[in-house]
Amino acid sequence: MGLIVARNREELAKASGGGRLALVPTMGALHEGHRSLMRDACARANRVAVSIFVNPLQFAPNEDFSRYPRTFDDDLQVCEEEGVSVVFAPAAEDMYRHDRQVSVNSGEMGRIVEGAFRPGHFDGVLTVVLKLFHLVQPDLAVFGQKDAQQLAMIRRMVADLDLPIEIVGSPTVREPDGLALSSRNRYLSEDDRRVALTLSRALRVGAGEFTPAKIRETARAVLDEAGGALDVDYLVLADPATFLEVSETYEGPAVLAVAARVGGTRLIDNVILTLSPA
């Protein structure tokens, strides 16, 4: 059977089938990073569903919802090449009632770090993800580690709401020069791209240190080298499960995460490292 494209809930219901089902939620503009999520999903399930939906709830009024890249025909080709069974591509009016009142509250973790700079963002993310889980009914869902706080929030929602879904975090895919793949990379000019590489370099250099203070200090120094060409929102070294900053005595996995604007484009990146006693 070839790729099935479902444009609404009714068509999605007709596309049901047997076996273990994996979901890869996306906003389209698919690239090699999305392909890696699909491959991970295919390795874990009999069937893979990909959602393509630019979710208006997770964009603030001053963000790039209207210009977010939409490349649906190309996206379908990617899904077909990667062995996806179903693409769910609803319109906004099929996802949200015009008089919608109830949504997911992302709690305190949704208001720190990325959430502090994008108020309401994680409420929108969790609301659409919960709806997709309900509509698609997957056994597991695959998300990219590049959106590390999003991944932590989704895991917390699944735990708090007792959802019977396995959440898989798939490693960040990078371009040969180290830039984390993102649908927004296409907005970067040649000069912007050179500046953007500062993010991955700062993370790489910082992760080579051994204490939280030194990791932060070293990574920040690399970011500062870019001067006014890089507008940094945050650099944090946090617990990957809570996104609270780690102390000097912390031991275990940690995420070194950064968000910054290059030209008119906002980029995020992170690396996972393990802190151990000196």
DSSP the chain: ---EEE-SHHHHHHT--SS-EEEEEE-S---HHHHHHHHHHHHH-SEEEEEE---GGGS-TTSSTTTS---HHHHHHHHHHTT-SEEE---HHHHS-TT-------TGGGGSTHHHHSTTHHHHHHHHHHHHHHHH--SEEEEETTSHHHHHHHHHHHHHTT---EEEEEPPPB-TTSPBP-GGGGG--HHHHHHHHHHHHHHHHHHTSSSHHHHHHHHHHHHHTTGGG-EEEEEEEE-TTT-PBPPTT--EEEEEEEEEEETTEEEEEEEEEEE---
Q: Which entry of 31, 34, 121, 134 is annotated as an active-site residue?
A: 34
Question: Is 34 an annotated catalytic residue?
Answer: yes
Catalytic residue list? 34
